[in-house]
A and B are shown apart, each in its own frame.
Chain A
Amino acid sequence: MKYAKLLKCIRKIPGKLRNFNIFSAYGKIGFVFVLLMVLTGIISVLFMGEAHKIPSGASLEAPGLIHPLGTDDLGIDILAQILHGAFVSIQVGFFSAMLAGIGGSTLGILAGYCGGWTDKLIMGICDVMMVIPQLPLMIVLGAFFGPSLRNIILVIVILSWSRPARIARARVLSMRQEGYIIAAKSYGAGFRHLAVKHFIPGILPIILVSIIRLISKAIRAEAGLTFLGLGDPTSKSWGVILNRSINFSGIYYTDYWKWWVMSPLTVLILLVLSISFIARDMELLFHNKGDKL
């Protein structure tokens, strides 16, 4: 049975691929780049072993045939580090965005549906979170929780759940006035039915866009935190590479910065940009009721 279902899914793929055309050119580029990053991240973790840890050449080699992006001060291949860092960045981005998106929208639905003091409480915390300057808080929290990947994700989630929560609440508030919710309630529908059948499908598109935006925010935040030395120093993420390269005394006196600083920075910018392109396309699609997706 399961096998048959799987086959059915596989058979549907060509049809889904045709739908790829609904993205704009930028969106397509972004999508391909994100996919590339995900794949290289996975490949590096699975097949490249310790390449990002073990020196494989002389220190501070310029980009060449063996080391396409050169090596760092310890002679470790920078490309290998960046590929491995992609995995960390995407991991952080995905998990923190998902947690913040799901958690935030759940709280938002509850606030919108229950109203009263639940609404006041949740929205109150939300307002506080939005008013507090994020970077200082992030630094404080990062220092407080201590450096580890899990804690970074936690900090990012704490700082970013309020946006999806507000979006979800606003949508649920307006949906509550709709005839179909009133009708469903009159048939005796409870919160579970309303949430599963109406609220969640109703807010899913906007929450999805907001989650995608959160991914790029989380990637930036992770890079920022580790750059400041508040991240996990052993994680070998892009932030760690940047941190180490900038802290290398006299880096700008030499040409080393051209590959050691620029390459992690460029992939970071490209990845965030790509995700933004996808988010923009998704927003347009949902706005036009993209049933084709």
Chain B
Amino acid sequence: MKYPLLKVEKLSVCYKNTDALAVHNLSFALRERESVGLIGESGSGKSSLALTIMGLLRSSAEVHGSIRLKNVELTCLPEQELENYRWSKIALVFQNSLEVLNPVMTIGEQIAECIRRHLGLNNLQAKKKTTELLLMTGLDPLWAKAYPHQLSGGMRQKVLIAMALSCDPEVLLVDEPTMALDAANKDEIIKLLLSLQKEKGFSMLVISHEFPVISAMTSRLLVIYSGNVVEEGNTQEVINNPMHPYTRGLVYASPAVNPYRDMWGIPGEATMPSENQCSFLNRCSQRIDRCACELPVLQTVCEDRRVACTRGGIVTLLKGSSLCKCFHVRFREIMACSSCDIEVKAGEVTALIGESGSGKTTIAKILAGILHADRGEVFFQDRKVSGNSETSKRGGVQIVFQDALSATNEHFSIEEIVREPLDIIKWGTKNERLKIVKEALKNVQLPSDDLFLRRRAYTLSGGQRQRTAIARALVMTPKLLIADEISAMLDPSTAANLLRLLKGLQIAQGFTMLYITHDLALAQKISDKVYVMSKGKIIGHGPVRNVFRENRSICLG
């Protein structure tokens, strides 16, 4: 095992003037020749961490905890001695901007100054070294005579890299190396840094909010939120299968990870880290009461993965294991589904795709408890689903059927249809029920005035009936909505609005959806995970981008 080169333990950084806690009890280790990524929204404390490691925040912030480089405790060193470590052992590639470089000095002078101060070389040697560095980063040495404002963004980034590498450091902190660069330049900088690392053998801590950069440059990833590490693990695995709601939110917000999907940010504002509650509490879609009482610590949830969540990461909401169902039709047995395993995680849209007759609807009905499986069991939030045990209460499972005309009684008024579940479970008073009904109708973009509420269902169009059925499911505030081809009857505009609405509810309330469809384009657009079904068997599953890449032929065939 490689010895940790840089070890940060229980580091807290608090800015003196604002009392803002930028980094909170953060620990991690960086081994030799390793590159670790640090990802998080802006303001999550990434840059503060880099500056603290460099010892640049000593005057403006209070720092607690330890930062050890090999065996030297950096936080205890006096400023004078720290100077020796800074740049020569640990170097920082600053965030690229004009302000970082001195506008009245040429590039060459600025790099040479750095070399002279830390390596004690004379002018001539420094100049020679500068030329070498510029060549190393792929810049023409002629640029040494240029002023910062004469350089392009990509070139300036290279100059910053050259400066950081001027003293051959052992640890390189890279802060947003590709910010505001175009795709070609980004690629070039990433390749440059990787090849330099190979050549010089330094360790890298890459700070970025861009998944492609992190993914290309690092092998391990730390996800940081409000100064706390919330998830840690292998970079590829974290991106493919995020286990903390925050990480998932970041992944979903990134079009680079999933080009087909809609982008949705994490709602809400980041709050100050606190000692006795989860800092992600107010934006988390799966919070429970306990989250407000204790600060989650990083815990190992599986091999090479640690998550800081009171609930142990994203919870599995619905789990069906080895489900079998056989229909007997006129002396023939039709295996509608055989040993199907399906798992739906909280706050995700899971699509179940397959040609018609592949057993999708059967699975949906078994999962909702409408059909009884011949074999296998369904668990919702670790409770066994039997009959209508989960569909007959608020906050449970709801299913919306494919055929809206049959799903709503045509002689009922709109109000009666939407209110029916509440009437059955005898929830609240009459006025409370009416309020919820109106809200649900508004949510599905139907009018909620008295005239409309009194209309009979058969006066509505198919699409309106479908939305009424969805409103009926929504009044039960389901945690999981099983939607069986609900957009098949709708016109494209209404379908788009409805799906965006459901997606919005999902982001805001952590509502989970199992979407059953044969529309592949739609599945790619809205879903996070995909299960592919064919002839009663599940033949593939995973993140939507992987499934569509790997099983292209299956999906299309």
**Which residues of A does B touch, CB under 8 Å?**
178-180, 182-189, 193, 197-198, 201-202, 289, 291
Contact = CB atoms under 8 A, between A and B. Distances in A.
B95 interface: no
A186 B388 CA distance: 5
Contacts of B403: 179
Nearest to B420: A184
Q: Which of B392, B411, B456 has the most CB of A within 10 A?
A: B411
| A-B pairs with lowest CB-CB distance, top 6 | A188-B392, A179-B407, A186-B391, A179-B406, A187-B421, A179-B401
Given A186-B370, A188-B393, 11 more contacts: A178-B409, A180-B407, A180-B408, A183-B401, A185-B370, A187-B391, A187-B421, A187-B425, A187-B476, A188-B391, A198-B409
A186 B392 CA distance: 6
Contact of B406 (A178, A189, A201): A178
B406 to A, nearest CB: 4
B295 interface: no
Interface in B52-106: none
B3 to A, nearest CB: 60
Q: How large is the interface on B (under 10, 10 to 19, 20 to 34, 35 or more residues)?
A: 20 to 34
Given A179-B401, A179-B403, A185 B411 contact: no
15 contacts: A179-B401, A179-B407, A180-B408, A182-B370, A183-B401, A185-B370, A186-B368, A187-B421, A187-B424, A187-B425, A187-B476, A188-B425, A202-B409, A289-B458, A291-B458
Contact of B420 (A179, A197, A291): A197
A291 to B, nearest CB: 6
B236 to A, nearest CB: 41
A183 B476 CA distance: 12
B472 interface: yes
B369 interface: yes
B533 interface: no
Contact of A184 (B399, B424, B456, B476): B424
Contacts of A179: 401, 403-404, 406-408, 469
A291 B411 CA distance: 9
A184 B456 CA distance: 18
Nearest to B410: A289
A202 B457 CA distance: 14
Contacts of B392: 186-188
A201 B409 CA distance: 10
A92 B423 CA distance: 40
B472 A183 contact: yes
A60 to B, nearest CB: 57
Contacts of B409: 178, 180, 197-198, 202
A44 to B, nearest CB: 40
A197 B417 CA distance: 11
Contacts of B411: 201-202
A90 B401 CA distance: 48
Contacts of B458: 289, 291
Contacts of B476: 187
A201 B458 CA distance: 15
Nearest to A190: B424
A187 B476 CA distance: 9
A180 B406 CA distance: 6
Interface in B340-386: 368-370
A287 to B, nearest CB: 14
Interface string B407-448: 111011000110011011100000000000000000000000
A179 B423 CA distance: 18
Nearest to A289: B458
Contact of B407 (A183, A188, A193, A198): A183
Nearest to B484: A179
A269 to B, nearest CB: 37
Contacts of A197: 409, 412, 416, 420
Contacts of A178: 406-407, 409
Contacts of B472: 183
Interface in B459-484: 469, 472, 476
B388 A187 contact: yes
A189 B425 CA distance: 8
A201 B424 CA distance: 17
Nearest to A194: B424
B199 to A, nearest CB: 65
A16 B420 CA distance: 29
Contacts of B368: 186
Nearest to B403: A179
B144 to A, nearest CB: 75
Q: Which of B409, B412, B456, B472 has the most CB of A within 10 A?
A: B409
A182 B469 CA distance: 13
A21 B404 CA distance: 34
A56 B476 CA distance: 75
A186 B399 contact: yes
A193 B406 CA distance: 18
Contact of A189 (B399, B401, B424): B424
Contact of A186 (B369, B404, B406, B423): B369
Contacts of B408: 179-180
B406 A187 contact: no
Q: Which of A178, A179, A189, A198 has the most CB of B within 10 A?
A: A179
A263 B408 CA distance: 53
Interface string B269-311: 0000000000000000000000000000000000000000000
A187 B458 CA distance: 22
Nearest to B398: A186
A5 B421 CA distance: 30
Q: Which of A178, A180, A197, A289 has the most CB of B within 10 A?
A: A180
Contacts of A187: 388, 391-392, 420-421, 424-425, 476
A188 B369 CA distance: 12
A188 B424 contact: yes
Contacts of A198: 409
Q: Which of B368, B391, B411, B424 has the most CB of A within 10 A?
A: B424
A198 to B, nearest CB: 6
Nearest to A291: B456
Given A179-B407, A202-B411, A188 B456 contact: no
Contacts of B391: 186-188
Contacts of B456: 291
Contacts of B401: 179, 182-183
A90 B420 CA distance: 40
A198 B292 CA distance: 45
Nearest to B405: A179
Contacts of B388: 185-188
A241 to B, nearest CB: 45
A204 B404 CA distance: 23
Nearest to B416: A197
B368 to A, nearest CB: 7
Nearest to B422: A187
Contacts of B369: 186
Nearest to B369: A186
B132 to A, nearest CB: 74
Q: Which of A186, A189, A202 has the most CB of B within 10 A?
A: A186
A93 B311 CA distance: 70
Contacts of A184: 420, 424
A184 B424 CA distance: 8
Contacts of A291: 456, 458
Contacts of B370: 182, 185-186
Contacts of A289: 458
A188 B476 CA distance: 12
A254 B311 CA distance: 103
A110 to B, nearest CB: 20
A172 B409 CA distance: 13
